[in-house]
Amino acid sequence: MINIIPIQQAYTNIFNRQKQVPSLKSTDDGICSYIGELSPSINHYLTNDNFIKHITLDASLGLPQQCPMSCDYCPDYYIHKEFIPEEFTGTGHFSDLAKKHLLNDAIATHNDIEKPSILFGGPTDALLYTDMICEIISFYEEKVVPEIGKDIWYHCYTTGMFTSEEELIKLKKAGVKELLFHLGASNFSETAYNNMRLARKYIDVITVETPSWLKHKKQLFNMLPILEDIGVDHLNLATIDINNKNKNRLDGNAYKAYNLVLDDEGLVYDIMNEVIDKQYSYSVLDLNNFIVMHSQGEAKYCSIKPVDFKFKPFNINNDTFTRRVANG
């Protein structure tokens, strides 16, 4: 059962917990609190760049629009469908129209002071579609980078459950610089850990991004020395959004931070102190909803399937006007 508490109580609790982390850093606006150094992908989201893209690997590319996982805390489904591997074998189609749209968008939104960044995500595990990611990166490298005169930081979300050494080598050769592993999605599966070890051999930056969820407290603390052993660079601990789809699967206090979010009762700061005490080398970020909503405000979520606008005449009071009709 969800119990909503006032923001005054929630934020007072957060600020008091922050005071208990001696080496805590914060951005000038106070939105972002962390220890160590921020991952490149998070640094990009905290800028005001227009050229920060989130390319969703979904039906707009002819790919299955379904997640293979079934996280209790996920706000995107009421009842999860059974994972059927055969339904995730689509190769998709990166059309000429989509390429034209992305090239024009890149030219229109870049400038000399920005740090271009492209995230591959969507309603699935991005690494199910390595070939599509490589094809899109190849397009950007051949057509977009010469136009904007800037290197692009490519990064992907993954559960770590659906990749292999061969696929990771492909991503490395294509130019992927960072992988973000959602370990909570697999309940901290050994398969995910093993694939993260493989990824460490080929990918420049390895980040773990998973919710700071009280039900995962034991697994999260058990995870910390494993991340150090693997050589993970960054740990981002996210908040859990609550809506009508997942609220009946969750328990605890909740408060408003743009959206309604689940209170972790300071767990993220307990983890920070553990990392400090054990002198682990990776950073830890409180990936709260203010950061997420800021990134959604600044990032450009690319619809690969651009809307086709056509002009059609129609009559009102015997006068002819022109209206724009969206077909797509």
* DSSP labels, 120-175: EESSS-GGGGHHHHHHHHHHIIIIIHHHHT---EEEEEE-SSS--HHHHHHHHHHT
How far apart are the C-alpha atoms of 239 and 210, rounded to whole Å? Answer: 9
Residue type, 103: L
Identify the pLDDT of residue 320. Answer: 33
Domains of the chain: 2-327 (3.20.20)
Identify the pLDDT of residue 83. Answer: 66
Identify the pLDDT of residue 249. Answer: 93
Q: What is the pLDDT of residues 231-265, one digit of tens each?
A: 999 999 999 999 999 999 999 999 998 889 999 99
3-state secondary structure 240-270: CECCCCCHHHCCEEEEEECEEEECCCCHHHH
| CB of 7 closer than 8 Å to CB of 289 | no
Helix (H, G, I), strand (E, B) or coil at 278: coil
| CB of 223 closer than 8 Å to CB of 184 | no
Taking the chain (328 residues) in runs of 10, the rounded mean pLDDT of each run is 94 94 90 90 70 79 82 84 66 86 83 78 89 95 92 94 95 97 96 97 97 97 98 96 92 92 95 97 91 55 45 34 31
Helix (H, G, I), strand (E, B) or coil at 180: strand
Per-residue tokens: 154: 């490519």
